Amino acid sequence: SQQGEEDPQALSIQEGENATMNCSYKTSINNLQWYRQNSGRGLVHLILIRSNEREKHSGRLRVTLDTSKKSSSLLITASRAADTASYFCATDYVQGAQKLVFGQGTRLTINP
């Protein structure tokens, strides 16, 4: 089954605004991770939230996890032009483990 579906697929906002991206998944997980990918480049790990956590912060990033709804959100506050990238959620799920299942990603564009 598919895991880690993000929405929206694309988001365009003005610099300084907050950006919120959502992710849904289908099966029980160990943790959920968010990654950033600049165009044509590698994946950069941003933040990991465990299944027993509800919220986590790292700098301008805030991640929430609702295991009852099987959903997560990534909030980037006070966005900057350098935040322009694709953002992926990835689930590390309980059964079968040892691999991440990625969603399609959200393409975020920050307009100066």
Partner 1 sequence: EPEVTQTPSHQVTQMGQEVILRCVPISNHLYFYWYRQILGQKVEFLVSFYNNEISEKSEIFDDQFSVERPDGSNFTLKIRSTKLEDSAMYFCASNQRTGTHYGYTFGSGTRLTVV
32 Cβ neighbours under 8 A, 6+ residues apart: 4, 23, 25, 48, 49, 51, 63, 65, 72, 89, 90, 91, 92
When asked if residue 45 is in the footprint of partner 1 (CB under 8 A), the reply is yes
Per-residue CA distances from 88 to 39, 80, 112 (Å)? 13, 18, 23
Q: Measured between alpha carbons, how far is 13 from 94 in angstroms, rounded to an integer?
A: 35
State the minimum distance, in angstroms, from the CB of residue 98 to partner 1: 5
When asked if residue 20 is in the footprint of partner 1 (CB under 8 A), the reply is no
Return the number of the residue (11 or 15) whose C-beta is nearest partner 1: 11
User: Of residues 52-111, which lie at the interface with partner 1 (CB under 8 A)?
Assistant: 52, 88, 90, 92, 96-105
**What single-letter DSSP state applies at residue 86?**
E
State the minimum distance, in angstroms, from the CB of residue 46 to partner 1: 9
Return the number of the residue (79 or 107) whose C-beta is nearest partner 1: 107
In this structure, what token pair is assigned to residue 95? 């059964």
Chain residues that interact with partner 1, rule: CB under 8 A: 30-31, 33, 35, 40-45, 48, 50-52, 88, 90, 92, 96-105
